[in-house]
């Protein structure tokens, strides 16, 4: 069998399949072994890439933003710092606090990692390089993502610690709330592509990335996914300056390490999803012929989105819980609903008008954004008037 450099992943798969069949194994067993091997490679790849390289990049970037040097001792430019950290975490004492729900306490970090890695099963890294192209991929993403929420709640409630408990309180309020605009925003690419399969959504972006067709939905998804993952400025569940470390305050050793990795992977997952669903995934010049090139495009897009997340994280103070919820229920959720309606109408209108589809969608989105800003401006004006009528009164909190 000659090796096909244009499609290496399929070739490798065929090569292995031939080899295993040659050993005389049953075809069903061979398929199972190959699937397990694929999962291992995927998870290992995710762990290594995110756990080592991106952590290092993240810390270097943070250091540069903050006028520091960052890790620079372990290996060239400190690139092996995450490995040293992992060794440290593994060798640390593993403590389970008195009065903790032991089973739940142990299960929580595993679930956290599971949910973050699990999403990667439906992410197309390159043409034909996808764990499984589920036809309800988007639904799967939402469902598996919710397990992460569950794990944080479990960790917080099982720790027998009040800070952890407060973190769990916040989880319930914040994550459950932000799932709604995220799910609704996910409807937009689904509608545009006409499929819930993630592979199909990428394919559907050949005519134009969905960030062009649906900028409002992109932003909505990005923001609410960031809140879902608890990234700053929405990191209330582990607000260091308020509730110490929130849900993971009692975790030590590798259990803490798993939470750390899970949180990190969650960040990468958001970046990957944003890249896949709105930035065209692996699409790019020549990607169809050379799938490896698609992988590179995908990695670049993911890294770009991830760095934007990091930039926001290192330059913003934290939002307060009531502002956070007000922001969600009063702005994001209605806007997401409006975005879905606008997309639906524009999609039907485009062929009827005979214009280019992208132009119609973009115009609709710009109109929507303009209307939102006008509504916000009117709202702010109302507050200002209220304050000016009673100069002594000071506006307290609320969604301003």
Partner 1 sequence: MSEQEQSTVAEPLEVHFPQAVTPDERKGYQGYVVATEALPEVATYARDELGYDYLSSVTGVDYLPEGKTEVVYHAYRTAGGPALVLKVQVPREDPVVPSLVGIYPSADFQEREAWDLLGIRFSGHPNLKRILMWEGFHGHPLRKDYQEVYFEAENKPFKNRWPEGKVYRVEEKAPLKKNVQYPPDFTAEGWVPEGDAALYAGMGQVVAAEGGNGRALNTDQIVVNLGPQHPSTHGVFRLVVTLEGETIVDLEPVMGYLHRNHEKIGERNTFLMNMPYTDRLDYICAMGNNFGYSLAVEKLMGITPPERAEYIRVMMAELTRIVNHLWAIGFLLNDLGAYFTPALYAIEERELVLDVFEAVSGSRMMCNYFRFGGVARDLPEGVLDVVRELVHERLPRKVDELDTYLTHNEIIRARCVGVGVLPPEDAIAYGMAGPVLRASGVPYDVRRADPYSIYDRLDFDVAVRYNGDVYDRYIIRLDEIRQSLRILEQVLRDIPEGEVQTGKPQYQVRVPAGEAYGRVENPKGELGFYVVSNGKPNPWRYHVRAPSFINLTAMGEMCKGQKVADVVAILGSIDIVLGEVDR
Q: Answer yes or no whether residue 67 interacts with partner 1 by CB under 8 A.
A: yes
Cβ atoms of residues 284 and 294 within 8 Å = yes
Stretch that binds partner 1, among 93-101, 208-216, 364-372, 390-398 (CB under 8 A): 390-398
275 binds partner 1 (CB under 8 A): no
Task: Select the span of 111-119, 222-230, 278-286, 308-316 touching partner 1 (CB under 8 A).
Answer: 308-316
How many Å is the Cα radius of gyration of the chain?
23
Distances (CA, A) of 327 to 227, 238, 321: 11, 19, 10
Residues whose CB falls within 8 Å of the CB of residue 66, separated by 6 or more in sequence, listed in order: 314
Verify binding: residue 320, partner 1, rule CB under 8 A: yes
- Spatial contact of 332 and 220, defined as CB atoms under 8 Å apart: yes
* Complex with partner 1: residue 68 or 377, whichever CB lies closer: 68
323 touches partner 1 (CB under 8 A):
yes
**318 lines the binding site for partner 1 (CB under 8 A):** yes
- Number of CB atoms found within 10 A of residue 209's CB: 20
Closest to partner 1 by CB, 129 or 165: 165
Tokens (6 digits) for 393 = 């009164």
Q: Is 243 in the site for partner 1 (CB under 8 A)?
A: yes
Return the residue of 231, 266, 313, 361 that touches partner 1, per CB under 8 A: 313
Looking at residues 183 to 242 of the shown chain, list those that interact with partner 1 (rule: CB under 8 A): 232-233, 235-236, 239-242
Per rule CB under 8 A, is residue 385 in the interface with partner 1? Answer: no
CA 389 to chain centre: 44
Residue span binding partner 1 (CB under 8 A) among the ranges 29-37, 58-66, 223-231, 352-360? 58-66
User: Is residue 317 part of the contact set for partner 1 (CB under 8 A)?
Assistant: yes
* Residue 193 token pair: 């592509």
Give me the 326-365 binding string for partner 1, x by CB under 8 A, dash otherwise: ----------------------------------------
Give yes or no for a cis peptide into 233 (omega within 30° of 0): yes
Q: Judged by CB under 8 A, which of 153, 237, 270, 319 binds partner 1?
A: 319
- Asked if residue 377 binds partner 1 (CB under 8 A), the reply is no
197 to each of 21, 276, 277, 345, how far by Cα in Å? 31, 11, 10, 22
Q: Which residue has the tokens 């569950």?
A: 150
Burial tier of 315 (Cβ tally within 10 Å: 0-12, 13-18, 19+): exposed
Say which DSSP state 237 is in. G
CB under 8 A: which stretch of 11-19, 187-195, 376-384, 388-396 binds partner 1? 388-396
Residue numbers at the binding site for partner 1 (CB under 8 A): 62, 65-68, 162-163, 165-166, 169-170, 232-233, 235-236, 239-244, 313-323, 394-397, 400
């Amino acid at each position: 069998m000659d090796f096909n450099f244009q499609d290496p992943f399929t070739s490798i798969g065929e090569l292995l399949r031939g080899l295993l069949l040659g050993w005389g194994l049953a075809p069903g067993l061979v398929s199972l072994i190959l699937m397990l091997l694929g999962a291992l490679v995927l998870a290992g790849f995710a762990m290594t890439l995110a756990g080592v390289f991106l952590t290092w990049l993240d810390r270097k970037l943070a250091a540069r933003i903050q006028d520091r040097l960052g890790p620079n001792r372990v290996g060239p430019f400190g690139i092996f710092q995450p490995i040293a950290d992992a060794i440290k975490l593994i060798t640390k004492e593993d403590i389970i606090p008195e009065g903790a729900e032991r089973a739940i306490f142990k299960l929580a970090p595993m679930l956290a990692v599971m949910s973050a890695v699990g999403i990667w099963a439906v992410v197309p890294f390159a043409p034909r390089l996808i764990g499984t192209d589920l036809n309800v991929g988007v639904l799967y993403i939402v469902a598996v993502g919710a397990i992460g929420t569950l794990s944080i709640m479990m960790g917080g409630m099982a720790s027998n610690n009040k800070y952890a408990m407060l973190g769990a309180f916040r989880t319930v309020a914040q994550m459950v709330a932000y799932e709604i605009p995220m799910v609704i925003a996910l409807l937009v690419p689904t509608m545009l592509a006409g499929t819930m399969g993630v592979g199909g959504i990428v394919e559907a972006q050949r005519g134009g990335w969905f960030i062009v067709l649906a900028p409002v939905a992109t932003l909505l998804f990005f923001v609410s996914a960031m809140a879902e993952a608890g990234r700053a400025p929405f990191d209330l569940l582990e607000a260091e300056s308020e509730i110490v470390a929130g849900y993971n305050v009692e975790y030590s050793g590798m259990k803490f390490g798993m939470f750390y990795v899970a949180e990190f992977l969650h960040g990468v997952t958001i970046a990957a999803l944003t890249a896949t669903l709105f930035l065209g995934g692996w699409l790019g010049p020549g990607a169809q012929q050379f799938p490896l090139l698609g992988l590179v495009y995908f990695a670049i897009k993911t890294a770009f989105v991830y760095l934007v997340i990091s930039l926001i994280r290192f330059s913003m103070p934290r939002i307060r819980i009531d502002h956070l919820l007000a922001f969600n229920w009063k702005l994001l959720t209605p806007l997401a609903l409006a975005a879905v309606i606008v997309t639906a109408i524009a999609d039907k209108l485009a062929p009827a008008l005979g214009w280019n589809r992208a132009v119609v969608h973009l115009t609709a989105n710009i109109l929507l954004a303009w209307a939102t800003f006008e509504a916000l401006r009117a709202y702010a004006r109302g507050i200002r008037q209220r304050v000016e009528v009673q100069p002594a009164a000071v506006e307290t909190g609320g969604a301003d």
